[in-house]
Amino acid sequence: MCGRFTITHPNEALAALFGAVPGNDLPMVPNYNVCPTNPVAVVTSDGGVRRLRAMRWGFVPSWYKATNDGPLIINARADTVATKPAFREAVRSRRCIVPASGFYEWSTGEKGEKLPWYFTRADGLPMALAGVWQRWHDIDTVAIVSTDAGPVMAGLHHREPVVLEQADWPLWLGEAGHGAAVLMKAAPEGALTRPVRVSSAVNSNRASGPDLIVPIAA
């Protein structure tokens, strides 16, 4: 799954990479501790025109009477996203990309403590996390699609976010026809770095700054 991530690449660089028109309300970067309910930059495509837009991380189904009317939905499972009422329309017509510089995952220590690990792309480029979005009243909200853990994540956690390769962006964004379901799979061997143990300071949603991703001895 994906419960925290970083975005350290400038918004202008992200807009250029994705060929998207940047909005004027994008969240400030860098952010080394993006948390649920934070605003995030999201790539959408409408009629082949890509836009980099701000959305709330935390998908709000259409029937919620308030944003906190039910569970906070930050991830959508690849195996059920097409059938769950909350997501089935979104995955057909409102797929998006959530750019990230890296993401955190946690293991459990010998004393039950939560130990954070940090993942990035092996090539140093921003990650393109598969997402689905929903407009709730006047708020655009997003969830990150997760799938069964692949070779890099296995042993640490049983889920991981879907990381899209650049060649697959048009299909996921609906620009290249149908069949995007085949993209909802784990990253192949070599696409992601091996997990790097980082400070437990990131366990707090108030923590910030580049020290959060500095490697420490595991």
pLDDT in tens, 150-159: 988 888 889 9
Domain count, the chain: 1
**Domain annotation covers residue 196:** no
**Domain annotation covers residue 113:** no
Render pLDDT for 93-113 as a digit per residue (tens, 0 to 9). Answer: 999 999 999 999 999 888 889
**Domain annotation covers residue 37:** yes
**Domain annotation covers residue 210:** no
Q: Do 40 and 34 touch, CB atoms closer than 8 A?
A: yes
The CATH number of whichever domain residue 89 belongs to comes to 3.90.1680.10
| Helix and strand counts by DSSP (H, E) for the chain | 3, 13
Q: Nearest to residue 128, comparing CAs of 24, 33, 44?
A: 44
The tally of CA atoms less than 13 A away on the side-chain side of residue 96 is 32
DSSP character for 26?
P
**Domain annotation covers residue 120:** no
**Domain annotation covers residue 60:** yes
Domain of residue 96: give its range: 5-101+126-190
Render pLDDT for 134-179 as a digit per residue (tens, 0 to 9). Answer: 999 999 999 999 999 998 888 888 999 999 999 999 999 999 999 9
**Domain annotation covers residue 145:** yes
pLDDT of 203 > 70? The answer is yes
**Domain annotation covers residue 215:** no
